[in-house]
């Protein structure tokens, strides 16, 4: 790869805002044996983009949801597709700020245009009524047009507690789940594993 291409790739990766650049081959499937490696490898073919399917990673904190989402996002970048990684809180805050400036339509169009939008950590903090409405608008704009990847630590049955509106939550989930792959991760936490190992070393 030429210097110019390398610099261009760096800029693309920076704009995608990944928290780290971990690939699928870096994932410890032995630690999370319930995750099917073949299923994850199939997702890396990006065939789900052909039918605008969404992917929902559901599981407790530290089980590898973000790692898997990032690995798919990196593959999208490798294939020359547009991808953005953003936490749900940051996304909603940006949309609210744009709404207050009167530029929410422009902002929604921007986020609806990515080939893949990765929304991380849905459920860690509840959304305001305004934030919930704006996020719904975005999901609605992407519905059957683009693919969205979501990571969440909250079961879908409890999402109304996050959005504060059962009717809106049902409408949002209807659009997310209609064409989607739900991947439930019930294994142990990597972070707790590291913590335990460090504790043993120090003791």
The secondary structure of the chain as a DSSP string is --HHHHHHHHHHHHHHT-S----GGGS-TTTSTTS-HHHHHHHTTTGGGGGT-EEEEEESTTSSHHHHHHHHHHHHHHTT--EEEEEHHHHHHHHHHHHHHT-HHHHHHHHHT-SEEEEEEETSSPPPHHHHHHHHHHHHHHTTTSEEEEEESS-GGGHHHHHS-HHHHHHHHHHHHHTEEEEEE-S--HHHHHHHHHHHHH-
Q: What is the pLDDT of residues 54-81, one digit of tens each?
A: 999 999 999 999 999 999 999 999 999 9
What pairs with residue 13 in β-bridges? Answer: none
pLDDT band at residue 196, thresholds of 50, 70 and 90?
very low
Q: What is the mean pLDDT of the chain?
A: 92
162, 150 contact by CB (below 8 A)? no
pLDDT of res. 38: 96
**Rounded to an integer, what distance in angstroms lies between the CA atom of residue 124 and that of residue 135?**
15
Range with the lowest mean pLDDT among 123-127, 177-181, 195-199?
195-199
**Rounded to an integer, what distance in angstroms lies between the CA atom of residue 17 and that of residue 33?**
29
Q: Provide mean pLDDT across the span 182-187.
A: 92
203, 76 contact by CB (below 8 A)? no
189, 67 contact by CB (below 8 A)? no
Q: Provide mean pLDDT across the span 4-12.
A: 85
Q: What is the pLDDT of residues 19-48, one digit of tens each?
A: 999 999 999 999 998 899 999 999 999 999
Q: Is the dihedral of CA 83, 84, 87, 92 positive or negative?
A: negative
**Rounded to an integer, what distance in angstroms lies between the CA atom of residue 25 and that of residue 118?**
20
């Amino acid at each position: 790869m030429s210097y110019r291409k390398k610099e261009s790739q760096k800029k693309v990766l920076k704009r995608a805002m990944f928290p780290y650049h971990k690939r699928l081959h870096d994932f410890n499937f032995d630690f999370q044996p319930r995750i099917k490696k073949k299923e994850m490898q199939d997702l890396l073919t990006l065939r789900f983009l052909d039918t605008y399917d969404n992917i929902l990673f559901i599981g407790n904190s530290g089980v590898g949801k973000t790692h898997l989402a990032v690995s798919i996002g990196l593959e999208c970048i490798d294939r020359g597709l547009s991808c953005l990684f953003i936490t749900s809180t940051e996304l909603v805050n940006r949309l609210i700020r744009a709404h207050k400036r009167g530029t929410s339509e422009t902002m929604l169009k921007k986020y609806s245009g990515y080939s893949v939008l990765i929304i991380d950590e849905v459920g860690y903090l509840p959304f305001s009524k305004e934030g919930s409405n704006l996020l719904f608008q975005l999901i609605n704009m992407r519905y059957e047009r683009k693919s969205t990847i979501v990571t969440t630590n909250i079961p879908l049955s409890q999402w109304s507690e996050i959005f504060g509106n059962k009717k809106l939550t049902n409408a949002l989930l209807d659009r997310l789940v209609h064409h989607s792959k739900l991947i439930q991760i019930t294994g142990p936490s990597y972070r707790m594993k590291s913590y335990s190992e460090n504790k043993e070393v120090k003791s």
